[in-house]
Amino acid sequence: MPSERQIAANRKNAKKSTGPRSKAGREASCRNARRHGLAIAIETDPAFHADIEKLAKVLSPSDGTKNVDERAREAAGAELDLLRIRKIRASLFETLSLVANDATSGNVAEVNDKLAKLERYERRAFSRRKRALRQM
């Protein structure tokens, strides 16, 4: 159990360290928890907005209007998610081939573990696209 004096010292010291202060530092630290970005919906990532809209426009059933169908947008998002997952999978294989000469069973097991985790996101994106296409 810390004493009153220790608690006060801890609080005083904690005030000296409040994380990054510069804009760049804050931007970098806000991505600390991010590993591959697959846990967040692709639609919320501005880098994919244009591509989703472009693909959704092509997938939209033509009803004489220029409106993009919401289900087509959902299917387009899921499709681009699948492509993103495949790219990550290919890059995981690449990391393994880069260490091929010194590859240990630990390296391989780690990559296998990551590949298995990707499966969850792929299954989700696949189901999302299937549902959207069925409703279209």
Partner 1 sequence: MLCITACGRLQIGKRVGAEFGILSLQEELPLNRSLVTTNPPKELEVLFENVPLLGSERREEYDAFFSAIASAEPPSNAVDWMLLKDLVDLGWEIRRERRIKVEIVKLNQTEVICDLLKSTFNKAHRLRSDLNRIFGARTEAQLWASDAETRMSIDARLKEKGHNQDSVLARAYLRGAGEIDAIDKRIARYELRRNEILKQIALRNERKAQRLAKASSDIIDGEFTEAPV
Task: Enumerate binding residues for partner 1 (CB under 8 A).
Answer: 51, 54-55, 57-59, 75, 79-80, 82-83, 86-87, 89-90, 93-94, 97, 105, 108-109, 112, 115-116, 119, 122, 126, 130, 133, 136
DSSP letters for the chain: ---HHHHHHHHHHHHH--S--SHHHHHHHTTTT-SSSTTS-GGG-HHHHHHHHHHHHHHSPP-SS-PPPHHHHHHHHHHHHHHHHHHHHHHHHHHHHHTGGG--HHHHHHHHHHHHHHHHHHHHHHHHHHHHHHH-
Least separation in angstroms between residue 86's CB and partner 1 is: 4
Of the two residues 38 and 75, which places its CB atom closer to partner 1 in the complex? 75
Least separation in angstroms between residue 46's CB and partner 1 is: 16
Of the two residues 16 and 134, which places its CB atom closer to partner 1 in the complex? 134
Least separation in angstroms between residue 4's CB and partner 1 is: 55
